[in-house]
């Protein structure tokens, strides 16, 4: 099994390019002004990717890695951000932006949908969803200034999705698109117990 840290950077870049094209998005480095904005709300810009409209920003050049970003985490976060782009399309960019800023419940829902794409990729790669995964993933929302109730809802949502994903179900459009590409171009990263689509 290839370790997360040993994944070929070329795979990360080709995957990201495919996903950007598929979801009509662009990829760039986090601009300084956005980094400053993230710091202002107590988030460490080096740890987060951000999507504004169709622009996806990473704090690292894709394919490079550091202590915050393994090549595998770049793949799963790219899928996460593409789910946001797809949701922007479905809900309308302005309406979604407004929801995101003004309602912690709606912000949690948006993040939940994107976390499901990561859940699907975890299953594809590891052949299981660890019991701890929904809780740890949901608790990452603490940095998003949501309420304790939102955190509970987020964890429950992921726990409800987990058995569906464990049985091979794909819920998110970004997860489905990601797995379709990975099955074809990087099947060596798939867990041996997971069947190709």
Q: Which residues bind to Zn ion, rule: CB under 5 A? A: 111, 114
Nearer to Zn ion, 5 or 94 (CB): 94
Query: Of 120, 112, 109, which Cα lies nearest the Cα of 171?
Result: 120
Q: At what angle do helices 104-126 and 71-91 cross, to 10 degrees?
A: 140
Nearer to Zn ion, 111 or 122 (CB): 111
Q: What is the largest CA-CA distance in the chain?
A: 45
Nearer to Zn ion, 109 or 111 (CB): 111
CB of 77 to Zn ion, least distance (A): 8
Distance, CA of 82 to CA of 100 (rounded, Å): 16
Nearer to Zn ion, 91 or 190 (CB): 91
Per-position DSSP letters for 61-108, written without gaps between them:
-BTB--SS--HHHHHHHHHHHHHHHHHHHHH-HHHHHHHHHH-HHHHH
Helical segments of the chain, H only: 9-22, 32-40, 71-91, 93-102, 104-126, 133-139, 148-166, 173-185
CB of 49 to Zn ion, least distance (A): 8
Nearer to Zn ion, 139 or 163 (CB): 139
What is the C-alpha end-to-end distance of the chain, expressed in Å?
A: 20
CB of 188 to Zn ion, least distance (A): 28
Among all residues, whose Cβ is closest to Zn ion? 114
CB of 111 to Zn ion, least distance (A): 5
Nearer to Zn ion, 18 or 113 (CB): 113
Distance, CA of 59 to CA of 48 (rounded, Å): 7
CB of 48 to Zn ion, least distance (A): 8
CB of 192 to Zn ion, least distance (A): 30
């Amino acid at each position: 099994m290839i370790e997360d840290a040993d994944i070929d950077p070329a795979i990360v870049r080709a995957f990201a390019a495919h996903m950007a094209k598929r979801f009509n998005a662009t990829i760039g480095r986090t601009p300084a002004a956005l980094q400053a904005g993230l710091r202002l709300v107590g988030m460490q810009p080096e740890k987060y990717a951000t999507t504004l409209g169709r622009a996806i920003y990473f704090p690292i050049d894709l394919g490079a890695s550091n202590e915050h970003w393994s090549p595998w985490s770049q793949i799963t976060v790219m899928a996460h951000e593409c789910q946001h782009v797809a949701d922007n399309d479905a809900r309308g960019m302005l309406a979604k932006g407004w929801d995101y800023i003004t309602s912690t419940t709606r912000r949690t829902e948006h993040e939940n949908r994107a976390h499901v794409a990561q859940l699907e990729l975890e299953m594809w790669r590891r052949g299981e969803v660890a019991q701890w995964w929904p809780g740890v993933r949901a608790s990452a929302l603490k940095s998003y200034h949501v309420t304790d109730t939102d955190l509970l809802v987020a964890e429950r949502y992921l726990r409800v999705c987990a058995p569906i994903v464990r049985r091979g179900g794909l819920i998110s459009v970004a997860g489905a698109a990601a797995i379709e590409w990975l099955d074809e171009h990087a099947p060596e990263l798939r867990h041996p117990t997971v069947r190709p689509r």
